[in-house]
Amino acid sequence: MRYSDTHKAETHDRLLQIAGRMLREKGPQNLAVGELMKEAGLTHGGFYAHFKSKDALLIEALERVFAGGRNKFERATEGMPPRHALGAYVDFYVSTRHRDGIANGCPVTALTSDSPRQSKKFRAAFDAGVKRLVGALAARIGEARIQTEDSQTLAASILSAMAGAVAISRAVSDKRLSDEMLEAARESIKARLGVTDADLAKEKFPRSVRSEVLQ
């Protein structure tokens, strides 16, 4: 069938979007090409007209997921003072909502223990995503003048703490333990950044909106 010029690109993009969800939900190994195509309303054979291999799909999907996360972060915190942006991000990231929505969550948390078993190219895409995320956090930390240490270093340790907490909170089955892990991490991170609710109350920017914005 001959479709419009944009049709293939649209299908390609739709495949990436679905793959991004499946990737985080099922992991790289359990994302099956056939299932992906079925979810897109297509049959398995057409896959190789879009991607040269499953690995190529995984890499493109991962990049897209990282990019989507950055966009969401930027959109949700634009106009906010840096401290509030940081507070909002930590509140979003280290939350039961993020924990319960793997399919739409941060790939760092969703895929940490899978990545070491993936191809070098996949891990390189992971690198890029992590670097940009650390960079984005470090930028806000710098602007906020949280000068206890180098902002890049602080950003890196904050990201580890956030990702570790959410990952563990998903890994356990006991809901109470899971909630406790999240809360412990969230409060300690916000304290380190000086963005607890008490800290932010001293500033004038209205806080009420933000919990809605970040998915």
Partner DNA sequence: CCTTTTATATGACGAGCATCATATAAACCG
Partner DNA sequence: CGGTTTATATGATGCTCGTCATATAAAAGG
Q: What does the binding site for a second copy look like in residue numbers (CB under 8 A)?
A: 26-27, 29-30, 102, 108-117, 120, 123-124, 126-127, 130-131, 149, 152-154, 156-157, 159-165, 167-168, 170-174, 177, 180-181, 183-185, 187-189, 192
Single residue of 13, 32, 145, 153 touching DNA by CB under 7 A? 32
Reading the block at residue 61, the tokens are 């999907």
- Residue number with CB closer to a second copy (2 or 176): 176
Q: How many CB atoms lie within 10 A of CB 101?
A: 13
Stretch that binds DNA, among 7-15, 59-67, 77-85, 136-144 (CB under 7 A): 7-15
CB of 157 to DNA, least distance (A): 36
The span from the CA of 207 to the CA of 159, in Å, is 22
The span from the CA of 211 to the CA of 95, in Å, is 11
Single residue of 13, 53, 67, 187 touching DNA by CB under 7 A? 53
Residue 24, C-beta contacts closer than 8 angstroms, at least 6 positions apart: 65, 102, 103, 104, 105, 107, 110, 111
